[in-house]
Amino acid sequence: MEAKLQNKRPKHLDLLKIRHPLPSVVSILHRLSGVLLFFPGIPLLLCGLQSLLDSEQSYAALAVILLNPVVKIMLLLSAWFSLHHLCAGIRYLLLDLHYGVTLPQARASSKLVLMVGVMLTLLIGRVIW
């Protein structure tokens, strides 16, 4: 009996070929956005704040750097990371309070998190450009 079960088991799981459900994708993006906000995000933010407050020359240099389109795209990505992380965090707080725990509600809240994060990022993008 055990030999039959072992033959049907996969030898390895290729996580890139498995189709994840939407709540799983939102969870993975929540964790990824948290890591990207913490490691490169916080040091860059503190460095930018330091140059803002240091002197007029460093403020002017930062203003020139922020006009670069590549830097604007990086700021937009950083905004999406923080907004997605915020929206998904609110979703997880509601799940901890047992709101939206059924599968259809979880799928709907996952779609809402993705849509709200992208819409708020696009609004910020209009301000940046």
**Are 124 and 74 a contacting pair, CB within 8 Å?**
no
d(CA 107, CA 118): 17
- Residues (pLDDT < 50) of the chain are none
- Residue 84 has what DSSP assignment? H
Q: What is the pLDDT of residue 10?
A: 64
Decide if 47 is inside a domain: yes
**Are 74 and 25 a contacting pair, CB within 8 Å?**
no
Q: What is the pLDDT of residue 102?
A: 95
Decide if 5 is inside a domain: no
Structural domains in the chain (count): 1
Q: What is the pLDDT of residue 128?
A: 86
pLDDT in tens, 9-42: 667 777 778 888 999 999 999 999 999 999 998 9
CB contact set of 25 (below 8 Å; sequence gap of 6+): 110
Q: Where are the alpha helices (DSSP H) in the chain?
A: 2-8, 22-36, 42-54, 56-66, 69-96, 103-128
Q: What is the pLDDT of residue 77?
A: 93
Q: Look up the domain containing 48 and give its range.
A: 23-128
d(CA 96, CA 98): 5
118 C-beta neighbours (distance < 10 Å), count: 14
Decide if 103 is inside a domain: yes
* Reported pTM: 0.82
Whichever domain contains 89, its CATH number is: 1.20.1300.10
Decide if 6 is inside a domain: no
Q: What is the pLDDT of residue 35?
A: 95
